[in-house]
Amino acid sequence: MSQYQLPTHWADALLNDDWDDLDDGETYSLATFLLIEGLGRCLDCDGKSEYTATHDAALYGVLPCWCSVYDFDEPEPEETWDSHPSLTAEQRNPTLR
C-alpha cells in the first residue's frame, strides 16, 4: 500500500469514481497524476485536512490547497510488449537502430 498527500476535493473522484465536481484543469491534473504515478485503486482517505503547498500533486500543476492522505493499493503487474525481458531495446523500438 502507498500513501499520498493529495487535494481533499479529489476524494469523490478517487474513492467513488465521481469526477463531476472537478473542472477541466483539475481533471487533467488528477488523470495525469494517476497515469504517471501508476497507482492502483484508491482504498481510503484519512478524512483529516491540512493546508499545504508541499503535497504530492504539486508537480502536476496543483496549487497550495487543503489536502488529505490517501491510501492506494499496489497496481497489478501487467505484461506488455515493452516489458518483455527477451527483447532488446532495439527490438522493442526499431527507431533506435
Give per-residue pLDDT as tens, 11-65: 999 999 999 999 999 999 999 999 888 888 899 999 899 999 999 999 888 999 9
What is residue 91's three-state secondary structure? helix
Distance CA 87, CA 96 (A): 13
How do the domains of the chain map onto residue ranges? Answer: 2-96
Residue with cell 499496489: 74
Q: What is the pTM of this model?
A: 0.74
CB within 8 A of 25, min separation 6: which ones?
61
Q: What are 13-25's pLDDT values in tens digits?
A: 999 999 999 999 9
Nearest to residue 28, comparing CAs of 49, 13, 8, 15? 13
Distance, in Å, from the CA atom of 83 to the CA atom of 63, rounded to the nearest integer, reads 35
CA separation for the pair 48, 69 (Å, rounded): 8
Distance CA 23, CA 62 (A): 12
Backbone angles phi, psi at 30, to 5 degrees: -65, -45
